[in-house]
Amino acid sequence: MMSVTDLVPGAERDNVSCCTPSGAHPMSAERAASLASRFRALADPNRLRLVSIISASEGSEACVCDLTEPLGLGQPTVSHHLKVLVDAGILHREKRGVWAYFSLVPGALDHLAGVLAEPQSKLAAADS
Amino acid sequence: MMSVTDLVPGAERDNVSCCTPSGAHPMSAERAASLASRFRALADPNRLRLVSIISASEGSEACVCDLTEPLGLGQPTVSHHLKVLVDAGILHREKRGVWAYFSLVPGALDHLAGVLAEPQSKLAAADS
DNA sequence: GACAAGTATTGATGTTCGTCGATACAGAGT
DNA sequence: ACTCTGTATCGACGAACATCAATACTTGTC
């Protein structure tokens, strides 16, 4: 990935009185939206708990029937949260018979971790 | 940190037909809420761009006047987003004269990255 | 084919969030 | 003190979200 330094143009204000614009550019709107949508999937306590349970389960997979009870939520709500996580590319869904098994997408959380990791947050990187 | 395996009790269902509960427990509601609130601060495209600009600025700090223009948002909106990031412990606010300078809280993003990082997501860890 | 069980979808409801305009606050200079 | 400028707060509005009850879909079993 590139470093945070690839900011957008159009901001070359020679405002002497204030701070140093440094030609500052945000990351592209597309990348920001893409990352934000994935962080939004993790921005709910119950979804974090779902990921926690799934990653702790043997084989790192669990079905809906295992997830409704420890969270104290209804089955439709759990199913909704799982869909959000699947749509975000964080969970993988595999239907075996009547049951739907959910597992972590390998590297999905790692990739987000890499985005946040130093040096000084590669938030402006170009990939994914 | 501990591993994801510290799931909550109260879920010892001997449901033979379905998956293996494995005594599955979500992470504590408190930890889930704490982490979710920080991810929620990152779950907005404009806030990600703010963090990007700030981390790319020289000295890794920037004031509001540098941030409104590249985002195309009004000053009150930018101020609001910055407050959300400060409240989440991600940004630090220092007022020098009339200007408010925002910088990354050292290690804040790193900590979140560590939560997401392998092995198999330490989402159930106990710290912070 | 009919039934049962696990799961997904739909519709509704209350809440939270992002954004803006208007306004209030704070510090610097005259 | 007054003014100017940068920043924060307030009130409002529309959109998005989390949750639930009800219902539809799907797969295995009889």
pLDDT confidence of residue B118: 64
Q: Is B33 on the interface with A (CB under 8 A)?
A: yes
- Decide if pLDDT at B26 tops 50: yes
Say yes or no to pLDDT of B122 above 90. no
| B84 has a pLDDT exceeding 90 | yes
Contact A60, B124 (CB under 8 A): no
3-state secondary structure of B91: strand
Residue A61: the pLDDT is 86
Q: Provide the sign of the torsion angle of the four alpha carbons B125, B85, B33, B23, taken in this order.
A: negative
Closest nucleotide C1' to the C-alpha of A64 = C7
Q: Model-level pTM greater than 0.75? A: yes
| pLDDT score of A87 | 97
A121 touches chain B (CB under 8 A): yes
What would the mean pLDDT of A85-100 be, rounded to a whole number?
A: 96
Strand partners for A104: A91
Per-residue pLDDT tens for A55-75? 988 778 898 988 999 999 999
Task: Mark yes or no for CB contact A110/B120 under 8 Å.
Answer: no
Q: Does B8 touch chain A (CB under 8 A)?
A: yes
CA distance A5 to chain B (A): 5
Lowest mean pLDDT among A101-105, B37-41, B63-67: B63-67
A4 against A126, higher pLDDT: A126
Round the average pLDDT of chain A to a whole number and report it. Answer: 81
pLDDT at res. A86: 97
Dihedral (C-alpha) B27, B30, B36, B41: value to the nearest 10 degrees?
-150
In A, minimum Cα distance to B17 occurs at: A99
Contacts of A53 in chain B (CB under 8 A): 7, 24-26
pLDDT over 70 (residue B44)? yes
Strand C atom within 7 Å of B26 CB: no
Q: Do B35 and A24 touch (CB under 8 A)?
A: no
Nearest CA-CA partner of B11 in A26, B20, B117: B20
User: Is the Cβ–Cβ distance between B102 and A18 less than 8 Å?
Assistant: no
Give strand letter and number of the nucleotide nearest A77 (CA to C1'): D19
Of residues B98 and A25, more confidently modeled = B98
Closest to A79 (Cα-Cα) out of A100, A49, A58: A100
